[in-house]
Chain A
Amino acid sequence: MSGLALTDFSVARGPCDVLQGLSLQLGAGECVGLLGPNGAGKTTLMRAALGLMAHRGGSSLSALPLAERAKTVAWLPQAREIAWPVTVETLIALGRLPHLGAGMKPGAQDQAAIDSAISRMGLEAFRTRVATQLSGGEQARVLIARALAQDTPMLMVDEPAAGLDPAHQITLMEVLAAEARAGRMVLGSMHDLGLAARYCTRVVVLWRGGIAADGPPAQVLTPELLARVFQIRAHIADGPDGPILQPVGVV
């Protein structure tokens, strides 16, 4: 089981449906960008698919028992919460909790996953630092490393690039794309259409409670769709390093 399947999926917030009867199949090896304007239901879709919110219709993930789901999918919430002043390494090690049985101590395999997550997010120098004393962007990277350390076949991240500097945004997207190439399924909501166009193998655009478009970025992110859904004009071109999409004005 290494994909996400939503069938006739609806989520209500208050009296009205935020998402209505949508179906979606995501498989291993895909790096999927979940796009849409504010309030389109990106976070709602991911939380409900994970079973963290009540929903109607089928989700292959929320159907799993809790313990198994934790070994299948790692989730990075949008709210960057670090409640206690623990060290960076301790925080990242929390990602191994789903793999530890009662009373089990983290073993060599767990340490390897933690070390790999630390090096992929470039956090070697921060290992012993207190997480709550880091800057917002650094905390975000620590929390992404926590999700990576969970080492699951699926990774769902809510606006992972928010608050990161340009270099770390690019590094992060390269890490996520590499995860997908290694056979995992990556689903991330994002607002930076340029990053989505360059690094995602597929984008899903949410709009008005349903899926407005779904497919490879080059086919989906057309001037017509950008104007209709995002109400922007954009400069779209093919550069030497891949596609370039730069919003230039509001429609």
Chain B
Amino acid sequence: MTRALLPLLGVTVAVLFAASLMIGPAGLAPVQALSALIRGDALAETLVMREIRLPRAILAVLVGAALGLAGAALQGYLRNPLAEPGLIGVSGSAALGAVLALQSGFAALHVLALPGAALLGAVLAVLVILALAGPRGGSITLILAGIAVSALAGALTSLVLNLSPNPFAASEIVFWMMGSLQDRSMTHVWLAVPFIALGAMVLLAQGRKFDALTLGEDAAASMGVHLGRLRLALVLGVASMVGAATAVAGAIGFVGLVVPHILRPLVGAQPSRLLPASALGGAVLVLMADIAVRVILPTRDLKLGVLTAIVGAPLFLHLIYKTRAQGL
């Protein structure tokens, strides 16, 4: 089971990716859709496939992998199964950047203005967190700094909504914060790819150090893990991935929390093996959710983030109940 897990998840991602390409309001037949995508011989269909469905499916994979991997890395570093990417304040700050762009009208200037502002918010959050947590601080200072930054970003976001003179802008902000992959273009893909790829490379390289941390910070340090450097890599990797994901898709919760939790028993609880599995698992979950929002309420524009939260929160409650039952 454990050995076959990665190939199994990989195949599932591929199948769901194909399914995501074939489902949509344009009502193309699957064969017709794929031929339009690959050969590009039918004008309208090709446009739908290449400009609407392909970027949407690619972003679902990217965003899911980013959230899953970032969640697994944070849980590994903090040795806490309840950690998630939102915890270090990156998603909240990215959302604040996006909200400011929407409110000020900056977002209307260019297609990249909104995700760019969100990314800038994420980067600023990282700098503040690193400054707050200091060079030698442990994981507790990191959590505290993250909570403080999260709270501040949340308060400022509320302030923007509170003072918004324009109800349209306010509702646009609220809808953006719910998280969605609708109407994204290849431009969004190209914006997200470098950050997510970079973050993934940084985080995947830390696998063994997270393994060593199973024994605590002291034992890990004595086994040659440079804790300060690991923390820097973690914060930069998570911020790069989650910042980019939030920038293109809005706030999508629970993926980073639930995916590592579900997959942990299947990899023998080893943090290093959980990293790639969670990346694929996150892609599976977001692809499934993004297909579900199109199938369940095709006419009502159900938001992806709303769906993941509605499915994720009860699952999370179940996990807490199970953890309590185990007496941990």
Contacts and interface: CB of A to CB of B under 8 A. Distances in A.
B216 A83 contact: yes
Nearest to A77: B218
B223 A97 contact: yes
Interface string B234-273: 0000000000000000000000000000001100111100
Contacts, number: 77
A84 B269 contact: yes
Interface in B207-238: 208, 211-216, 218-219, 221-226
Contact of B222 (A74, A82, A87): A74
A52 B119 CA distance: 36
A132 to B, nearest CB: 8
Nearest to A70: B224
Interface string B77-117: 00100000000000000000000000000000000000000
Contacts of A47: 218
Contacts of A1: none
A85 interface: yes
Interface in B294-328: 328
A239 B219 CA distance: 38
A84 B271 contact: yes
A95 B222 CA distance: 10
Interface residues of A, number: 32
B79 A83 contact: yes
Contact of A82 (B215, B224, B226): B215
A157 to B, nearest CB: 11
A171 B240 CA distance: 50
A159 to B, nearest CB: 14
A143 B211 CA distance: 14
A63 interface: no
Interface of B: 79, 208, 211-216, 218-219, 221-226, 264-265, 268-271, 328
State the 4 A-B residue pairs at the shortest beta-carbon distance, nearest first. A70-B224, A81-B216, A75-B222, A83-B79
15 contacts: A52-B218, A77-B222, A81-B214, A81-B219, A83-B216, A84-B214, A84-B264, A84-B271, A94-B215, A95-B223, A97-B223, A97-B224, A98-B224, A132-B328, A143-B215
